[in-house]
């Protein structure tokens, strides 16, 4: 929410009623608004607290004024006439006036980098969000930390040049010498995005793969023969270059996904009960334990314990939200916290009497620090968190 929009809220009586709890209808209205706009929930809560703080300040100013009037009366100093008003009305009007004049101050508190609260969090060693980082393992076993390597060419294998870009990609291209007709069989590389990392790979056929945290992709340095085959652990989003004569196949656990050219997402973490393949564009064939299904855009295949099911009841925005820079969820607390653990590189435990199956819905930027992300979840009032080092305790 823009700062000018926050200032405008200070002029709305319904919002001030919500802050002061004076009108049940306005309170319900704004609570519902916050639930429907979780991305703005933290700013609204901070503004509400600032309103209360400024109102308290205005009341203290009024009490001081009343004491001054009493002193003047006792000293025989004449007072200017004033209309009679209830103390609450005076307090409310004064609070509103102070709020409007101090809007800049209020917004100062809303800026995360300037808030005292964030200073306290920083002193406790703030846990930052994940970022572009990965490790490339070459065919000879050599490991290259991509985060630390310079941009440009980083290796050449079997006539293929491997380069890193400033945008956080690795790209495979033919070197000047090329592969040649007598080239040996392609060798395999693996890119691993660790906990708290993500990375983009441009494969030799110009297909693009985005790896989520705690995921890896194994692939040949160039595609030969009658197929393009890669192996995935974890989660990745694929945009595959069309080639009818050479289908693209992704193996993950017991599942194989076959495509010609399409956009899709595979989630196949070891600690997730379901392996999910979601199709955004094109067509894919899912095979698992001898069973085969073909997906159309908007469908999701779910594999668990040898069972293969297809559903169209899927939120595509939710599925690819990680690639687009945010968490969007409508699922159990336990499922949400597994995503949090992978991205922020933390361990999650649950206090006694905490129900991990309770469902939450919301949308949070993946680039907020951990404290800010958890605080937004706490605004529901149903859950609380305690952070000690890299250990997060969930409490109800």
Q: pLDDT-based confidence at 235, cuts 50/70/90?
A: very high
What are the angstrom distances between the C-alpha of 283 and each of 62, 264, 269?
A: 70, 9, 23
pLDDT of residue 86 exceeding 80: no
Is 265 exposed, middle or buried (CB count within 10 Å of its CB: 0-12, 13-18, 19+)?
Answer: buried
Q: Is the pLDDT of residue 250 over 90?
A: yes
Above 60 in pLDDT, residue 13? Answer: yes
Average pLDDT over residues 110-125: 42
Confidence of residue 80 (pLDDT cuts 50, 70, 90): very low
> Side-chain half-sphere of 345: how many Cα atoms within 13 Å?
15
Q: List CB contacts of 32: < 8 A, sequence separation 6 or more.
A: none
| pLDDT band with cut points at 50, 70 and 90 for residue 96 | low
pLDDT at position 114, please? 42
Domains and CATH numbers, the chain: 3-110 (no CATH), 131-318 (2.60.120.1440), 325-395 (3.55.50.30)
pLDDT confidence bin for 55, thresholds 50/70/90? low
Instruction: Supply the pLDDT for residue 67.
Output: 45
- Burial state string for 97-119 with b = 16 or more CB within 10 A and e = fewer than 16: ebbeebbeebbebbebeeeeebe
pLDDT in tens, 196-221: 999 999 998 999 999 999 999 999 99
What percent of the chain has a predicted confidence (pLDDT) above 90? Answer: 45
- Alpha helix (H) residue ranges in 75-181: 87-101, 103-110, 116-123
Q: What is the pLDDT of residues 287-306, one digit of tens each?
A: 988 889 999 999 999 998 87
pLDDT at 54: 63
For 152-209, write each residue's pLDDT tens digit: 999 988 778 899 988 888 999 877 655 555 556 778 999 999 999 999 999 989 999 9
> What average pLDDT does the chain have?
80
Q: Does position 83 have pLDDT exceeding 50, yes or no?
A: no
Read off the pTM: 0.69
User: What is the C-alpha separation between 356 and 345, in angstroms, rounded?
Assistant: 19
Inform me whether the pLDDT recorded for 234 exceeds 70: yes
pLDDT higher than threshold 50 for residue 87: no
pLDDT top residue among 26 and 214: 214
CA dist., res. 282 & res. 259, Å (int): 8
pLDDT at 5: 66
pLDDT at 89 over 90: no
336: DSSP letter: H
Of the pLDDT bands very low, low, confident and very high (cuts 50, 70, 90), residue 348 is very high
């Amino acid at each position: 929410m823009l700062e000018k929009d926050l200032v405008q809220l200070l002029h709305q009586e319904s919002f001030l009623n919500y802050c002061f709890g004076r009108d049940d209808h306005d309170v319900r209205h704004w609570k519902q608004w916050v639930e429907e706009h979780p991305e703005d929930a933290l700013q609204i809560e901070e503004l509400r607290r600032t309103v209360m703080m400024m109102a308290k300040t205005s009341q203290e100013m009024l009490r001081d004024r009343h004491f001054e009037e009493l002193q003047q009366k006792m000293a025989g100093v004449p007072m200017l006439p004033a209309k009679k008003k209830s103390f609450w009305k005076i307090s409310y009007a004064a609070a509103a006036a102070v709020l409007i004049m101090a809007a800049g101050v209020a917004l100062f508190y809303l800026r995360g980098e300037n808030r005292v609260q964030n200073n306290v969090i920083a002193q406790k060693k703030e846990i930052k969000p994940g970022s572009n980082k990965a490790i490339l393992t070459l065919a000879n076993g050599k490991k290259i930390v991509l985060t630390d390597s310079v941009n440009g060419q980083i290796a050449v294998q079997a006539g293929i040049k491997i380069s890193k870009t400033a945008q956080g990609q690795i790209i495979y291209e033919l070197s000047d010498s090329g592969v040649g007709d007598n080239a040996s069989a392609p060798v395999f590389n693996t890119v691993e995005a660790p906990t708290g990392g993500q990375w983009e790979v441009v494969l030799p056929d110009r297909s693009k793969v985005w790896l989520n945290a705690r995921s890896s992709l194994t692939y040949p340095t160039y595609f030969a023969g009658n197929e393009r085959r890669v192996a995935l652990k974890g989660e990745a989003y694929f945009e595959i270059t069309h080639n009818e004569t050479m289908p693209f196949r992704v193996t993950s656990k017991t599942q194989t996904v076959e495509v010609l050219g399409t956009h899709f997402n595979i989630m196949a973490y070891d600690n997730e009960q379901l392996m999910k393949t979601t199709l955004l564009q094109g067509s894919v064939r899912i095979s698992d334990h001898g069973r085969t299904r073909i997906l159309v855009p908007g469908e999701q295949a779910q594999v668990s314990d040898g069972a293969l099911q297809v559903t169209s009841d899927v939120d595509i925005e939710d599925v690819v939200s990680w690639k687009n820079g945010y968490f969007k969820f409508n699922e159990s607390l336990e499922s949400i916290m597994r995503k949090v653990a992978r991205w922020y590189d933390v361990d999650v435990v649950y206090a006694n009497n905490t129900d991990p199956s309770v469902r939450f819905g919301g949308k949070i930027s993946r680039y907020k620090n951990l404290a800010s992300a958890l605080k937004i979840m706490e605004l529901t009032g149903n859950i609380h968190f305690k952070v000690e080092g890299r250990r997060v305790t969930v409490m109800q």
